[in-house]
A and B are shown apart, each in its own frame.
Chain A
């Protein structure tokens, strides 16, 4: 997720977002989700600005693309702030809990021979990209 300067026009914002997406895809990653959260009031001033344009990327790939993306965002003046959060492990853990809960519930409801049907969890390295400067 990153914050873009609110002064930039809508076209510039889309151009910037496309540029950053290009960086990821050029290096071999994929953008799973691209969400423009629009303009929001910031909880505190960043560089004398009280509003910001929030954009969220969800990226699948290795660390190289993330490092390159962060480097570009650090250099870019329009990106006010970014944050990168790794979510694949958290999601995998949440899936495991959910699967365990489902298995426990099914075992309790079915009073017959316990069929341990372990749900397969699709594990993919996923990272969310946020902007920071």
Chain B
């Protein structure tokens, strides 16, 4: 009896799941709840900034939230080149005590 019941339910559920999975895309269910990819534009590319200065503390502070960690690229939206320049500038600023290494 229980086996009949299980078979019927499973068949029903499986069909629904398959349909949803194929339509919605595989990333929607497996990811952290985010369904679509937000294509954020790189702020530096948009403003045509070529040189990221480590002395510009105010600009750099936008990229280190509370704990002082460097924001990853997928959150800040920077392109690879600018993310490299940015992280180098932040590390230099940390070295010369313009930015903290960690805040608690």
Instruction: Identify the A interface with B (CB < 8 A).
Output: 1, 3, 40, 42-44, 46, 52, 56, 81, 83, 85, 90-91, 93-94, 97-98, 101, 130, 132
Contacts and interface: CB of A to CB of B under 8 A. Distances in A.
Nearest to B49: A94
Interface residues of B, number: 14
B51 A94 contact: yes
10 contacts: A1-B96, A40-B98, A42-B97, A43-B98, A43-B101, A46-B97, A81-B97, A91-B51, A98-B50, A101-B48
Contacts of B51: 90-91, 94
B99 A93 contact: no
Interface of B: 48, 50-51, 54-55, 92, 94-101
A21 to B, nearest CB: 19
Contacts of B55: 1, 56
A3 B98 CA distance: 11
A56 B92 CA distance: 14
B92 A94 contact: no
Query: Which of B48, B54, B55, B101 has most chain A Cβ within 10 Å?
Result: B55
Given A43-B98, A44-B100, A46-B97, A85 B48 contact: no
A44 B51 CA distance: 26
Query: Which of A3, A40, A44, A52 has most chain B Cβ within 10 Å?
Result: A44
B50 A130 contact: no
Contacts of B95: 81, 83, 132
Nearest to A83: B96
Of all A-B residue pairs in the complex, the 7 with the closest CB atoms, nearest first, are A94-B50, A43-B100, A42-B97, A94-B51, A97-B50, A83-B96, A43-B97
Given A44-B101, A56-B55, A3 B50 contact: no
Given A94-B50, A101-B48, 18 more contacts: A1-B55, A3-B96, A3-B97, A40-B98, A43-B97, A43-B99, A43-B100, A44-B97, A44-B100, A52-B97, A81-B97, A83-B92, A90-B51, A91-B51, A97-B50, A98-B48, A98-B50, A132-B95
Nearest to B99: A43
Contacts of A101: 48
